[in-house]
Structure 1
Amino acid sequence: MDELTAFGLHYRRYLRGLELAFKYLPFLTNVSPFKTIERRMSPFFKQVHAMSGSMAAVLPQAGVPEFRRAWLDSHALFARHFLEYRRIDHDWVKKNVVVEEPALLKEVVERGGVLLTYHTHHQNTLCCILGVLGSKVSAVAAAPEASPLYPVIGTWAVRVNADSAIHFRGGRYIFTNDLRALARDVRTALQESSVVVCLADFTQQGSKAPNQRLFGRYISPPTGVIELGIKLETPFYFSVLAPESGVLKLKLRKFDDFSPSLNAVVSAYVSYLQECILVCPSLWQGWEWFGALPDVPESLS
């Protein structure tokens, strides 16, 4: 059995185990020993050690054991939440989420635009929250079938999308496998004042974005949705939803340049990610691929 398939099978057992525990033993799932079991059972238990090495190399002041626990706990919290996506409502949001900028969130909901977010485990939950609060949501994502893990955990990936999309108020997932349809559907969504949620915190070959610096590495994000947003003069927002200091915190920032360049938007997007990571290193899934990003040459450091 290859390593990827073994990971997928581990992930599937983990999700099945959590679902059974939440369904039949809910009184045990909030006690401290269960958190330890969640961490040990996590499909990322081995990988988080490599991630913590990447993190510690650029943030030596951060505690490695604390990072590992917080990263695994964040993933487990996502799993807990997505198993109850269908039950998310205003009361759930009020109970589980702290919004840092309520007025700005209200603007996003009412006005729409491009909301650039990050891999925090909770990006699908963010889309649910936006929909519950009144946004028509269109989420740009890779099709589940495109993942090499689809034969093993495809049922769960489809469930995440289907159960979150019931909150999108007529919006839907826009998949990236058909670029022509992607451009058409994003354009339509923006013209309808939807919130188009997009992840771009990774390098894409052929990206038009100049290399951006992230902790001494170069990252070159995908830019198709950003370019279309600039062309349509839509507002841009950056958002992070992740656990911080024991609560699920929703952070927002508006990009205020009224005639932005592609480089300005991407630079501000990456800069905001770095700013948020400095506050809470465990919020970012991207430590998983950070080590593969090219180094900034010493002469430019």
Structure 2
Amino acid sequence: MPDVREWSRHDAARFVRVPGPEDDKYSRGVVGLRTGSVAFPGAAVLGVEAAWRTGAGFVRYIGGGRAADAVMARRPETVVSTQASGARVEAWVIGSGTDAATRTADDEHELREILDDAVPVVVDAGALDLAAGSRAPLLLTPHGREFARLQARIGASPDEDRARAAADAATRLGAVVLLKGAQTLIADPDGSVILVDAGTGWLATAGTGDVLGGVLGALLAANPDAPVAEVAATGAWLHGHAGRIAAGTGVHGGGHGHPIVALDVAEALPRAIADVLA
């Protein structure tokens, strides 16, 4: 059995940076997102919104068409370009709102360039199939069905013990695996696992995973020397806490709360961060 430890508010506070007088937009962290598609332009908006709301100093969006237009309409602070080549960032988020089945050769070439660089990459949804063999420090963020497909791709046997299964996948891939669920598990390639139980059932709605990707990208960019697994656990904790705030379930998840949409979670992130820093 892997060593499993639970992540707390106190743990998360260590990775939330308060900008000081010497900081500028670059030192606060530059995040690049290559997300969204013609079919799912909203994924780009949600990830970008979350990166800004988590405290990124500079956000770059790579893409065009409806997704880029939607990003600029919602967040005009964002720098938009059509190519990732030459973009200077401290962390990437890729794959959210994309489908590997519709990926072009140019798309794949650019994604593989990102995955083979030295910058940490949050890999979600339609880019998970490219993770194996990549050289960049990776943080994979599958939900249950995506994780089952990932297991099959790397030759891992199904395991009812989620912690053990996540740890096995992380070791096989040499990457941190964040397995989404009512209890989120973050597995490090060294075999250790962190459990984050800080959410609400109302988070089980479309787009909240895209928000999580933006949170993770912003935190990785702001904490370049920190262990990826611990930064990931902090992102999952903040995302869950923002979900509780948005749903009105209280700090400890008490009460029934009410339905939310993904953008509600992104908009609640500043309060979630303020709570951690209080």
TM range (shorter): 0.3 to 0.5
Whichever of the two has the greater Rg, that structure is 1
Q: Which has the higher helix share?
A: 1
Normalised by the length of structure 1, the TM-score is 0.31
